[in-house]
Structure 1
Amino acid sequence: MTALPAPLSTWFAARGWALHPHQQAMLDRAAAPATLLIAPTGGGKTLAGFLPSLAELGPAPPPGLHTLYISPLKALTADIRRNLRAPLEGAGLPIRVEDRTGDTGQTARKRQRVDPPHILLTTPESLALLLSYEDAPRMFSTLQRVIVDELHAVAESKRGDQLALLLARLGRLAPGLRRIGLSATVEDPPALARFLAPGTEILLADPGPDPDISMLDTGTPPPWSGGGGRHAIPAILQQVRAHRTTLIFHNTRAQAELFFHDLWLQNEDGLPIAIHHGSLAREQRERVEAAMVEGRLRAVVCTGSLDLGIDWGDVDLVIQVGAPKNVKRLVQRIGRANHRYNAPSKALLVPANRFEVVECQAALDAALARDLDGEPRGSGPRDVLCQHLLIAACAGPFRADDLYAEIRDAAPYHALTRPDFDATLDFVATGGYALRAYDRWQRLKQTGDLWHLRDPRSAALIRQNLGTIIDTETLKVRLKGRFGGTPLGEVEEAFAATLTPGDTFLIGGEVVRYEGLNEMTVEVSRTPGRDPKVAVFNGTKFATSTQLSDRILALLNRPGWPFLPDHTARWLALQRQVSALPRRDRLLVESFPHDGREHLVIYGFAGRNAQQTLGLLVTKQMEDQGLDPLGFVATDYATLVWGLSPVTDAAPLFAAETLRQGLESWLQGNALMKRTFRNVALVAGLIERSHQGRRKTGRQATFSSDILYDTLRKYDPDHLLLQITREEAMRGLIDFARIEDLLARIEGRIDLIRLPRLTPLAAPLFLEPGKVPIHGQGRERLAEAQAQALMAAAGLA
C-alpha cells in the first residue's frame, strides 16, 4: 500500500481522519497512465485525485509545475485552493497551490508562466490561453499529472471537445503525462473513460446509501400549467424552518428570480434567504457563497450555478422546483445535501404543474434505481477544431502532419479524416473560397512544410476571442451613482431594449427601476415593494431526456397509479376512459373541435425542441394539403395545432422523407440558422467577440455575421462554416434526430382518434405560453370570412 508523506499522515491522524477505500486505491494506482474515479458526491473524490500528487511532491518538492487541476467552474478552483491549503499548511508541506482563471490578475498571470506553482488550478478556457503562448513548452515540460474534476459536466459540451484537444496537446508537451478524471454522476463509464484517454482504468467507489427522496406534499394540487412553483411556497417555507440549510433549485434563472421574490414576500419569519445564479454580479455571488460557507443562510434559491461539487456549508436538504428534465442532473443536485461520505442525501421534488407530477415520479424512480440518462455525443465539432488550429498557430509554427496526428489523439476527433482536417486548415488560413480575397481573413501562411501566423501581432487578438461559451447578448446592470454604482448583474440585450425609464424588473431578488442606458450599462435605482416587469434572463431551458421520456411513457401505461397523488391518477384515468394514453411504440394523435377551431394534438414525447420542430413541419404539411393551420404550441410531451379544417388521415403528415424535405426548405434563410451561424463563426474565429480589449455588442456581432451568412449562402453555399451551422442546428435547437428516432420507433403505427371535444390530457396545452402563429391560407381565409361577416352586419352583403 502506498503511504502519504509522513507530515500529512500525522496531520490526518491528529484529526482522527482515515482514508476512504477509494482514496487509498487512488494512491495505490499512482503510476497508472489514466484513471477515472466515480465516487458519490461528498465522498472526497477531489482529495482522492490530489493524493498521488501530494505523495509524489512530498516535503521537498522540486521546482516547476507538477499537477494541473481543471474544473468547469472558476468558483470551484477557489474552493479547492481553500480546502487544500488547510492540510498543506497544517502538515508544513512547502507545496505551492495557485489558481489561474479569468479572475486572476495580470501580474499573477505573467508570474505563473515564468515561475509556475507546483499545483495550478484552472479552467478549460484559461488552459487554452496558457497553451497559446510561445513559452508553453517550457511551462508544461515538468508536468506530471492532470486532474479533470466533474469530468461528466465538461464532456457533454463544446468545452469538453476543446478540453480533449488541449489534453492531447499537453500529452505532446509532457510525454508520460498521467490523467485522472473525477465524476459523481456517470451514465456510461466506459464512454467517459474513453473520452479521458485510451485504456483508462475505471475505479468505482462504494455508491453509498440510497438518497432519501420524495415528492413534497403541498396539500393542494399543482396548477394545470406554468413552471414557477408558487403554489408550493408555504410548504417549502415549512421545510426550510425544519432544516439547517436548504438549496432550492430551479431550471431557469427567470423562474428562480420570480420564485425568490414570492418566497421573500411570504417569509414572515424573516429567515435569512438568498439567491444565486449566473446572471448576478460576481460580487453578489461571492457574498452569498461566503454566507453559505459560514452557515449564515437558511435557504438559497439557485440554478445550475450550484450544481457542481462546491462544498457549500451545512446543506441538509435539497428541493427541486419543477421537473428536473434529466435524471443525472437531479442526482447531481440531490448530492449537494449531506455532503459527507456514506450520509444519505435528502431531497424533495416539487412539480410545478399537473403533468410534471408524472415526470417527477418517473425521475424519482430512476434516481432510486441509479438509472442515469445522457444523450450520446457525436464527433467533435469543427468550429472548435478551427479555434484549436489558431491556438496552435499562436504558440508557434507547426507541421500539418504533426498537428493532425496530435488532434486524432483527442477522443472526439479520433475519426477525423485527413480531407476534413485539410479543409479546416484551409478555412483557418484563408477564410475559404468566398473570403480568400479579403486580407482580414488571411490568418495563416505556409513556409516550406511549416504553417505559422501571417502576422505575429494577430496572436493578441486571437487570444482575446478564445473560448467555446457563447455569451448571450447581455448588458451590465448597475445602481445609478456618480462613479458607477454597485453592480447587480446582467440582463439580455433584447430585454433591455424593451425598457423605458420608470419600468421595473427583478434582479438578484430586488425590484429595481430602470433609469436609463449609459455606455452599454443599464442604470437602475431601488424601488422596493412595486410589482416588477420580469427580466428574461439567459439560461438554459432543458428538454426532457430520451430516457426520462421513455420512463414517463412506461409509467403512463401501468394498469393503475397508486404511487401518484389521487388528483393526477384521476386525471390519467379519465384520459384513458375518453381517449387513450400515449405509448412508446405508437404515436397517439387526437383530433377534436373546440371553440370554433379544429385541433390536432401530437403526443411525441420527444423533448421541447423536437416537439417545436415537429409543429413547424406538420403545419407546413397541413398548409400544403389545404387544411389551413393557424398556429401551434409545443411542450416536452406534445404539440397542439389549431386551424380551420379537421385532419382525417395523419399518416401523410409524418412521412419521414416529406418531413426531411420540409425541414430543408424551412432551414433556407431561416433566422434560426443565422443565429446558429453567428455562434459557429464566433467559436471558429471568423468574427470577433472583442477587439483591442473592447467587447463588441451583440448587435455588432450579429450584424457582421448576418452579412457574412448571406454572402456565403450566395457565393459559397458549401462553405465549411455553413456545413458546421447546419450540423449544429440539426442536433441543437431543432433536435431533428429525436424526431427521426420517434418515427423509427413507431414504424408507421399512428393512432388518430377523432373526438367530439377536447380531452383531459390535451386541456393543459391550451394554457401554455409561447404560441406560434402560422401566416398562411388559413389566416387569409379567416380574414375574408370576418370581412364578409362585418359587411353583412352593415347591410352591405
Structure 2
Amino acid sequence: MHKLPVETPTKIVDRYFESIGWKPFRFQRSVWRAYQDGQSGLIHSATGTGKTLAAWMGPLLRWLQENPDRTKWNPKRSPSVRVLWVTPLRALAGDTEASLREPLDALQLPWQLESRTGDSKASAKSRQMKRLPTALVTTPESLSLMLTHERLLPQLAGVEAVIVDEWHELLGTKRGIQTELALARLRRLNPQLRTWGLSATLGNLEQAKDALVGVNPTGTVRIIEGYKKKRMKLESIIPARIDRFPWSGHIGTKMVPQVADRLDQVNSALVFANTRSQTELWYQHLLRQRPDWAGKIALHHGSLDTSVRRWVENGLRDGSLRAVVCTSSLDLGVDFTAVDLVLQIGSPKGAARLLQRAGRSGHQPDAESRLAFVPTNALELIELAAAQDAIRKGCLEARPMLNKPLDVLAQHVVTVAIGGGFVSGELLEEVRSSRAYESLTDTEWKWILDFVVHGGSSLTAYPDFHRVEQDGDRYVVTQRRTMTMHRMNIGTIVSDASMKVKYQKGATLGSVEESFLSKLNGGDKFLFAGKLVELVRVKDNVAYVKRAKGQPDSVPRWMGGRMPLSSELSAELRLKIEQAADGQLVGREMRALEGVFELQSRWSTLPRANQLLIERVETRGGHQLFVFPFEGRLVHEGLAAVLAYRISKLQKTTFTMACNDYGIVLQSPHRVELETVVDVNVFSTENLFGDILSSMNSTEMAKRQFRQIARVAGLIHPGYPGQRKSTSHVQASSNLFFDVFQEYDPDNLLLEQARREVLELQLESSRLFAALERIENSEILVREPPKVTPLAFPLLVDKLRERVSSETLGERIARMQTQLEKAADE
C-alpha cells in the first residue's frame, strides 16, 4: 500500500485561503518567505488589505514545517509560547484574538491562543503565570508587566516572534518607546527573535522600521509594501447654503438632516467625530432627527464601559446596528466587513487619518472604501480638497520621533530590577540597542541609576524613593511594597483622574474625568453614553446618576481632543488657496466656496504659497492684526506669543490673542506700526527658543508637563484601585517635586525633559522654526480691508468667546454675520 503524499505547509495554507474565497497576495507570500528565512520587518499596506494574515501565517507555516506529522499533534498539550502579538488598544485584543483564531481552527492546529490585557480575568492571568499559551495577544503595558516576573523569563526566552499591530499608532509616543525597550529586553533573552510590525498610512517608513527592530539588528530587515492604494471614493456633503463668514464651534449640527438622509441609503455606517464630546452631541441630534432609530444606532468611545463597547461592536458585526457614532476608538484593527460607508464629521486634520478612517468601510482587499465628509464650517472644505491632493501625491504624515525620554527609561529600569535584576553595563548595552536611546550618554545613565537607587541628589533622605538596591554588581528590588506599587502603575498613559459613572441601581456607564465632575452639583444634568443623566451624588470615587428628562446643563469634556493640522496638510492647504487666487477651483469642495474666495479677494487678497498675508482692521474691540501662516493651531499658539512679545518690545502696547489652524489674531488698544514690524523682521528665527520661553508662562507649562513625567518616572502614584488620589492631590505632589528640584537640584534631568517636551510637544517648536524659516523667505502682504474678511471672521469669533455677554454666542455671531453680509452685498 502506498502512503498518501503529505501536503506541504504552503499547500495547506493555500487550501485555507481557497476555503474563505481568497487567494494569497504576492506581498503576503513575500512576508511568509522572509519569516521562514529568519528575517524581521515592517509590513506596510492600506487598511483592510490582509496585513494580519500576512504576519500571522509566517509563524503557522514554520510550525507546520517543523511538525509535518499530524499524528504526533497533541490537542491536549499545546506547544509552549512562540508568538506575542502586541496591540495598541486593549479594546482591540478580543477582536484580534477572534481574527487570529479563525485560521488556527480551520487548520486544526493544537495551539493555545489567549489574551492578556488590563481587561483579562484574574484567573486567566494566574494560569498564564504558570504556563504561557502558544500565542498571546497583549498590550505594551501588559508586556512590560510580564517582564517584572522573573519566573516568566525562561518562557519569554523561547518566544520566536513578536508582532506589533498598528505600529504607526505607537510610533512617536511614550507607549511606543516603552514597546521599544520591551523588545530590546526580549531580544536579549532570545537574540534570534523575529520582530514584525504592521502599519498603514505612514510617511517615515525607514524610521518606523529602525524603531521596531532596534540598532544593529541580527539578520536581514525588510520593509514589505502591500497595497498602498485601495479603491476609494471620497465625497463631501455640502451645505445647501455656504456662509461667506464661516466660523468653527457650532459643530455642524445643521448638517444632521443630510447625514440622516445618507444613513438611510446604506445598511451600516460609522460616523467619526474628532472628540468624545462631539460624539455624545451628534448621537443625540441624530436620535432627535430620527426617533425611530432608537436601538438601531449606538455610541462608541474610549470612556464607555467595556461591556457597552462590546455590545456595540457585536451589533456592528451581526448587522443589528444601522450606525455607530464614534471617535478613534473604532479607528483601528477591528474588522467590520459589513460597514458600507464612513462619515467624517469635521476635518480629520491629516491625510493619513482620513485614509485610515475611510479604510474602515469596505474592509476587504477588493472592496471599495467610501467616505463622506461633513464639514463643521465652510473652510474645512478646503482641508478636504487639500487632503485629497495629498493622498493622490502620496504625501502622508510622518510620525515625529521622541528621543530618549528619561521618565520611560527610569520606569523600565525598575521593571527589569524587579524581574530578576541586572548588571549596569549589560542593561546599558541593551537599552542603547533601541533606537530611542541609541545616543544615551554615560552621564545620563549614571543619573538614572542614582535616581532609582537614591531618588537623585535631592531625595536621598527619603527611603520611599530608594526603590532599587545594589547587591554586589547587580541591581535588584527586594521591597514588596515597591514591587506592588510599580506593577499597579506601570505604563505611560497619563490622563486626568477619572471616576466611574454608575446608575444608582444597576449598570456602569463608563468613566468621566474628575475635573469635569468636580464642577457639577447634585441635580445637574449631563449627556453621557448617549443618555441624559442627572448627578445624584459622588461617593467612594463613583458618580451615581439617574435618568433625566429635559435639556443637558453640560457635556463632558475629555482631554486629548486638540488635533492640530498636520504639516503635510498645511502645505497642501496653502497650495489650494494659491490655486483659488489664480481662479482655479478644482473639485466640488473648492467650487462650493467660490463666494467666500470672491469676497476675500475683493476686500483683501488670497495669499499665494510663497506669501504671508497680514490684515489690519479696527473694530469696536480695538485694533486687530490678523496673520495667516496656515501652519496649524499648535504652531500658531507659539507664534502668537512670540509675535506679541517681539512687537511689544518695539512699541509699548498690550495684546490679547486667539488662534486657529489658519492664522492668529492679536488685539491691542493701539494701532501697530506694521512698517516697523516688517522692517525689524519679527518673523526671524534668531533667538526663537529664548523668545518662546520669555513670552509664555513657561514655568507653569513645564509644571503641567512635569506632572506626567513624575507619574511615569514613579515619583508620584495615583493610588490603589478603588482608592485613587484626587487630581488636586496628585497635582500638589508633582508641583512640590518640581519646586524642590528647581531650588535644590536645578540640573535634574527630569526638569530638563519637562522643558524640552513643552517646546516640542505643546508648542511644536521645530515646526515653528521651519514655519518662520519659510516666512522669512516669503513676500509679506499687508492689507487694510474695510471690514473683517471671511478668513479673519472665525478668529474674531474665537476672540469673542472670551467675553461674557448676556446674549448667547450664537446670537451675537448671527448678528455680526448679517451686518457683514449686508456690507458685502453693498
CA distance change for structure 1 residues 388 and 583 in 2, over 3 Å: closer, same or farther? farther
Quote the offset at 1:724 in angstroms.
0.9
**Counterpart residue number, 1:225:** 248
The 3-state SS of whatever aligns with 2:324 is strand
CA distance in 1, matches of 2:621, 2:255: 36
CA distance in 1, matches of 2:281, 2:721: 38
Task: For residues 507-561 of structure 1, give each alpha carbon's deviation from its aligned partner in whole angstroms, at most 9, with x where no partner exists.
Answer: 1111111112112211111114434422212333101000100100011011122
The 5 Å alignment of 1:60-79 reads 60=73, 63-79=79-95
Quote the offset at 1:136 in angstroms.
3.1
The one-letter code of the counterpart of 1:306 is L
The 3-state SS of whatever aligns with 1:591 is strand
The 3-state SS of whatever aligns with 1:498 is coil
The 3-state SS of whatever aligns with 1:650 is helix
**Counterpart residue number, 1:254:** 277
Which shows bigger deviation, 374-383 or 108-117? 374-383
**Counterpart residue number, 1:701:** 730
The 3-state SS of whatever aligns with 1:348 is strand
The 3-state SS of whatever aligns with 1:598 is strand
CA distance in 2, matches of 1:203, 1:527: 54
Alignment partner of 1:762 out of 786, 792, 804: 792
Task: For residues 685-731 of structure 1, give each alpha carbon's deviation from its aligned partner in whole angstroms, at most 9, with x where no partner exists.
Answer: 11112348743222221111011111111222221110110111111
**Counterpart residue number, 2:644:** 619
**Counterpart residue number, 1:27:** 32
CA distance in 2, matches of 1:83, 1:209: 21
The 5 Å alignment of 1:12-23 reads 12-23=17-28
The one-letter code of the counterpart of 2:740 is T
Alignment partner of 1:214 out of 210, 214, 235: 235
Quote the offset at 1:656 in angstroms.
3.5
**Counterpart residue number, 2:428:** 404
The one-letter code of the counterpart of 1:281 is D
Which shows bigger deviation, 172-181 or 589-598? 589-598
Alignment partner of 1:310 out of 334, 339, 345: 334
**Counterpart residue number, 1:418:** 442
Query: Is residue 650 of structure 1 aligned with residue 672 of structure 2?
Result: no
**Counterpart residue number, 2:547:** 526
CA distance in 2, matches of 1:770, 1:104: 48
Asked whether the 8 Å contact 1:294–1:313 carries over to 2, the reply is: no
Q: How many residues align?
A: 769
The 3-state SS of whatever aligns with 1:629 is coil
The one-letter code of the counterpart of 1:629 is T
**Counterpart residue number, 2:808:** none
CA distance in 2, matches of 1:771, 1:431: 45
**Counterpart residue number, 2:653:** 628
The one-letter code of the counterpart of 2:25 is H
Quote the offset at 1:314 in angstroms.
0.2
**Counterpart residue number, 2:354:** 330
CA distance change for structure 1 residues 453 and 628 in 2, over 3 Å: closer, same or farther? same
The 5 Å alignment of 1:255-334 reads 255-270=278-293, 272-334=296-358
Asked whether the 8 Å contact 1:78–1:99 carries over to 2, the reply is: yes
Quote the offset at 1:567 in angstroms.
4.8
Alignment partner of 2:622 out of 564, 585, 597: 597
The 5 Å alignment of 1:320-359 reads 320-359=344-383
**Counterpart residue number, 1:554:** 575
CA distance in 2, matches of 1:327, 1:243: 25
CA distance change for structure 1 residues 713 and 256 in 2, over 3 Å: closer, same or farther? same
CA distance change for structure 1 residues 598 and 669 in 2, over 3 Å: closer, same or farther? closer
Asked whether the 8 Å contact 1:195–1:412 carries over to 2, the reply is: yes
CA distance in 2, matches of 1:98, 1:712: 45
Query: Is residue 738 of structure 1 aligned with residue 767 of structure 2?
Result: yes
Task: For residues 148-204 of structure 1, give each alpha carbon's deviation from its aligned partner in whole angstroms, at most 9, with x where no partner exists.
Answer: 111111113111111011101000112201111111212122221112224520111
The one-letter code of the counterpart of 1:393 is A
The one-letter code of the counterpart of 1:113 is M
**Counterpart residue number, 1:437:** 461
User: What is the percentage of aligned positions where both structures have the same residue?
Assistant: 34
CA distance in 2, matches of 1:658, 1:6: 65
Asked whether the 8 Å contact 2:622–2:669 carries over to 1, the reply is: yes
CA distance change for structure 1 residues 43 and 723 in 2, over 3 Å: closer, same or farther? same
Query: Is residue 580 of structure 1 aligned with residue 596 of structure 2?
Result: no
Which shows bigger deviation, 277-286 or 80-89? 80-89
Quote the offset at 1:453 in angstroms.
2.4
CA distance in 2, matches of 1:722, 1:643: 35
Quote the offset at 1:256 in angstroms.
1.3
Asked whether the 8 Å contact 2:383–2:573 carries over to 1, the reply is: yes
Asked whether the 8 Å contact 2:149–2:419 carries over to 1, the reply is: yes
Alignment partner of 2:701 out of 672, 682, 686: 672
The one-letter code of the counterpart of 1:234 is P
CA distance in 2, matches of 1:694, 1:5: 54
Asked whether the 8 Å contact 2:56–2:100 carries over to 1, the reply is: no
Quote the offset at 1:6 in angstroms.
6.5
The 3-state SS of whatever aligns with 1:557 is helix
**Counterpart residue number, 1:795:** none
CA distance in 2, matches of 1:310, 1:166: 25
Task: For residues 25-55 of structure 1, give each alpha carbon's deviation from its aligned partner in whole angstroms, at most 9, with x where no partner exists.
Answer: 2222222321211122221211111101112
Asked whether the 8 Å contact 1:584–1:746 carries over to 2, the reply is: no
Asked whether the 8 Å contact 2:615–2:626 carries over to 1, the reply is: yes
Quote the offset at 1:99 in angstroms.
0.6
Alignment partner of 1:37 out of 31, 40, 43: 43
CA distance change for structure 1 residues 291 and 529 in 2, over 3 Å: closer, same or farther? farther
Structure 1 residue ranges, 4+ long, deviating more than 6 angstroms after superposition: none
The one-letter code of the counterpart of 1:245 is S
CA distance change for structure 1 residues 358 and 713 in 2, over 3 Å: closer, same or farther? same
The 3-state SS of whatever aligns with 2:364 is coil
Asked whether the 8 Å contact 1:667–1:673 carries over to 2, the reply is: no
CA distance change for structure 1 residues 438 and 454 in 2, over 3 Å: closer, same or farther? farther
CA distance in 1, matches of 2:722, 2:409: 24
TM-score normalised by length of structure 2 = 0.89
Query: Is residue 641 of structure 1 aligned with residue 666 of structure 2?
Result: yes
**Counterpart residue number, 2:395:** 371
Quote the offset at 1:671 in angstroms.
2.8
The one-letter code of the counterpart of 1:240 is L
Asked whether the 8 Å contact 1:474–1:491 carries over to 2, the reply is: yes
Quote the offset at 1:446 in angstroms.
2.6
Quote the offset at 1:90 in angstroms.
3.2
Asked whether the 8 Å contact 1:208–1:342 carries over to 2, the reply is: no
TM-score normalised by length of structure 1 = 0.92
CA distance change for structure 1 residues 57 and 349 in 2, over 3 Å: closer, same or farther? same
**Counterpart residue number, 1:661:** 690
Quote the offset at 1:456 in angstroms.
5.1
Quote the offset at 1:460 in angstroms.
1.6
Which shows bigger deviation, 590-599 or 92-101? 590-599
Asked whether the 8 Å contact 2:163–2:197 carries over to 1, the reply is: yes
**Counterpart residue number, 2:746:** 717
Alignment partner of 2:782 out of 752, 764, 784: 752
Quote the offset at 1:375 in angstroms.
4.3
**Counterpart residue number, 1:786:** none
CA distance in 1, matches of 2:247, 2:592: 11
Query: Is residue 141 of structure 1 aligned with residue 157 of structure 2?
Result: yes
CA distance in 2, matches of 1:27, 1:764: 53
CA distance in 1, matches of 2:207, 2:689: 30
The 5 Å alignment of 1:1-150 reads 3-4=8-9, 10-30=15-35, 31-58=37-64, 59=70, 60=73, 63-150=79-166
Give structure 2 stretches of 5+ with no counterpart: 1-6, 65-69, 804-826
Task: For residues 382-431 of structure 1, give each alpha carbon's deviation from its aligned partner in whole angstroms, at most 9, with x where no partner exists.
Answer: 21111111111111221111111101111222222222222222222222
Which shows bigger deviation, 5-14 or 357-366? 5-14
Which shows bigger deviation, 29-38 or 166-175? 29-38
CA distance change for structure 1 residues 157 and 426 in 2, over 3 Å: closer, same or farther? same
